């Protein structure tokens, strides 16, 4: 399947947009969202943000996308804050000694940010995936 966000396409087995109740109920995601809000208080809004779990074809590891539209923080001071956020994202969700999180898209014209965390820890995926599947089943009509 092709998952598209902000014009960027990912060829994946599965994709789950993480609902905000799941974000709020997970210690790591809740902490990361709170940090994002503190670092970027004027543009961290849930209506324009997405957190997505991806199962890629080519890797045995799951990946995470952290996206935000209406994100216009592209000056040096903002990039320092973004680096701080990405270091925490890596620390909390990635496999130790794995590929680091990276910025896939930072566009001041379209005001878009997209971060990819390419190798999530199995502990995080094992904890969050059942909640996502349950949430998806609940939202489907019977």
Q: What is the pLDDT of residue 47?
A: 86
pTM to 2 decimal places: 0.89
Side-chain half-sphere of 12: how many Cα atoms within 13 Å? Answer: 20
- Distance between CA atoms of residues 104 and 97, nearest Å: 20
- Distance between CA atoms of residues 88 and 98, nearest Å: 14
Q: What is the pLDDT of residue 141?
A: 67
pLDDT in tens, the chain (142 residues): 999 999 999 999 999 999 999 999 999 999 999 999 999 987 778 888 999 999 988 767 899 999 998 888 788 998 999 999 999 999 999 876 667 899 999 888 888 999 999 889 888 999 999 999 888 887 766 6
Q: What is the pLDDT of residue 66?
A: 95
Q: What is the pLDDT of residue 104?
A: 92
Helix (H) or strand (E) holding 11: strand 8-17
Length of the chain: 142
């Amino acid at each position: 399947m092709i998952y598209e966000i902000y014009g960027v396409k990912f060829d994946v087995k599965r994709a789950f947009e993480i609902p905000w109740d799941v974000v709020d109920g997970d210690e790591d995601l809740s902490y990361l969202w709170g940090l994002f809000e503190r670092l970027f208080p004027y543009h961290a809004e849930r209506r324009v943000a997405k957190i997505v779990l991806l199962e890629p074809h080519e890797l045995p590891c799951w990946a995470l996308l952290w996206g935000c539209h209406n994100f216009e923080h592209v000056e040096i001071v903002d990039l320092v804050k973004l680096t701080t956020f990405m270091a925490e994202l890596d620390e909390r969700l990635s496999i130790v000694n794995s590929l680091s999180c990276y910025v896939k898209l930072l566009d001041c014209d379209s005001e878009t940010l997209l971060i990819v965390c390419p190798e999530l820890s199995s502990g995080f995926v094992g904890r969050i995936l059942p909640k996502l599947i349950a949430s998806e089943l609940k939202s489907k009509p019977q």
